[in-house]
Structure 1
Amino acid sequence: MSVPVLAVAILPLVSGTDLTTGEGKRILEDTLKSLTSRPGCTAVHYGRQIEHPDKLQINIDWTSRQAHADWENDPNYGPFLKNLGTILAGPPNIYHLKIPASAPFSLPGAAPVTECLTFYFEPDHDEAAYTKSFDKFQEEAAKLDTGVTALTGGFGLQEQKHENLGKEGEEGPAKIFGGFIGWPTVEAHLKFRETPEFPGLIKYAREGVKGASVYHVAFEKA
């Protein structure tokens, strides 16, 4: 039985790239059209990271990891990458998350601003145990007046690297959990972090976490 996955592609753009006009706009539109027309692609959301505007993030919902692999093995994939590569400053970082079908990315992704968080764990970390903790985080968050519109998350299929899990300053292998939380504004998120309720809530999301990254994207749906 195939399991839906969310492919997260983080693309480092050439500094100063304008995606709203000219060649940059054409390449972005070509990229999105190629993705949305693929068999097995059910949704595409994209946007620049607010804190790092030279990074474009594209989240692609696939019916399965195999559906994405079929695209990577398609004869048109090479020209697709070549076209996209003309606006990239380096190689993209692409990974896949197991997002629950009951809470698809499209829910927090539809918010005016989406908090994107990545938690890094030891490679052998117990996924079931953390999932229970994250479920508790969601349960407790629902009781508070946070302004959150929706949230979801899931573990990655591929290992990533993080400096907190290596030896002698080197990056080491890490299991990742990607989470997405919809907010009305970035300011609403930052304001909630200053409330007395925040420490008691975030402890559930940070259980066993060895490293983390957090940023925001105002996603658009292709």
Structure 2
Amino acid sequence: MPETVEIAIVSFKDSPSSPPQSWLDNLKAFASTPGLVALYFGQQIEHPDKYTWVARWTGQSAIDDFHNSPNFKAWADVYAAPLATSVIKTTQETTGEPSVPLDSPCTEFFINHGASDDFHKARLDPFIQKLVDAKLPGLIGGSTGEYKTVINVNEEVPEQKEVILLLGWVDKEAHTALQGEGSTIVSNLPMILPYSKGFNLYHVNLKKL
């Protein structure tokens, strides 16, 4: 059965140079939750004031059990207290193994907003397959998924369908080096870019907690 993936994007009040230690300790405690396969955390390279954590769950029922557990409210209060903004997205449908890009040294998050109905399977999946078939230097592997925003605090999040591509790279520079005119990536962008209303892209050197 496919894993359920949560992607969270947060920022902190007063823009500290690093997350409060008490908040990090609380997040690490979350890693031992029953049904949680793996938890990752890191700072966005392009936007240093924002951080991303990703949770791989055995399924949606494990998330529901966590939310209904006796200790959840106390944990959530500590989690939310220092945050200026918070967004959590949950997968509805995935292709590929999320562990591949998430366990890579650098993970690219390519978030497509307002995607067409056929965007995920008919456009994004063939796009990533072309990159894999080209054996791009520095590319480790990827996964795609349709996501729904389940928590939104002080952020503008489009309500339309979101489809997210996770790509694993040896480092951000490997990806950047392949973005020139005529490259495999750029040549295949017409497969996807006209079929969503916009996108965000960032990289994170995730650490497993």
Tell me the TM-score range normalised by the shorter chain.
Answer: 0.7 to 0.9
Q: How does 1:119-198 map to 2 (within 5 A)?
A: 119-121=112-114, 125-127=116-118, 130-144=120-134, 145-158=136-149, 173-197=159-183, 198=185
Paired residues of 1:159 and 1:176 also in contact (CA < 8 A):
no
1:61–1:172 distance in 2 versus 1, CA, 3 Å: closer
- Residue-by-residue CA offset, 1:25-65 (whole Å, 9 max, x unaligned): 342122122x2221211111111111112222110011222
- The one-letter code sitting in structure 1 at the alignment partner of 2:10 is L
Identity of aligned residues (%): 24
User: Is the CA contact (8 Å cut-off) linking 1:17 and 1:87 kept in structure 2?
Assistant: no
Alignment match of 2:90 (pick from 68, 93, 96): 96
**Local SS of the residue matching 1:117:** strand
Q: What secondary structure is seen at the aligned counterpart in 1 of 2:139?
A: coil
CA distance in 2, matches of 1:54, 1:107: 26
Asked if the contact 2:11–2:49 (Cα under 8 Å) also holds between the matched residues in 1, the reply is yes
**Shift in Å at residue 146 of structure 1?**
3.8
Question: What is the CA deviation profile of residues 159-200 of structure 1, one whole-angstrom value per residue up to 9, with x for unaligned ones?
Answer: 899xxxxxxxx9863100011111222222122111412322
The TM-score with structure 2 as length reference comes to 0.85
- The counterpart of 2:36, out of the listed 37, 41, 51, is 41
Q: Aligned equivalents of 2:149 and 2:120: distance in 1?
A: 17
**SS of structure 2 residue aligned to 1:174:** coil
How many angstroms does 1:137 deviate by?
1.2
Aligned residue for 2:61? 66
- In 2, Cα distance between equivalents of 1:42 and 1:159: 20
Q: Which residue of the other structure, out of 9, 21, 29, is the alignment partner of 1:25?
A: 21
Q: Secondary structure at the match of 1:130?
A: helix
Compared CA separation, residues 172 and 141, structure 1 to 2 (3 A): closer
Of 173, 195, 207, the residue aligned with 1:208 is 195
Shift of 1:98: 3.9
Q: Report how far residue 210 of structure 1 moved.
A: 1.2
User: CA RMSD of the aligned region, Å?
Assistant: 2.5
Task: Give the structure-1-normalised TM-score.
Answer: 0.80
SS across alignment from 1:194: coil
Aligned residue pairs, count: 203
Question: What amino acid is the match of 1:11?
Answer: V
Distance change in 2, residues 1:99/1:61 (3 Å): farther
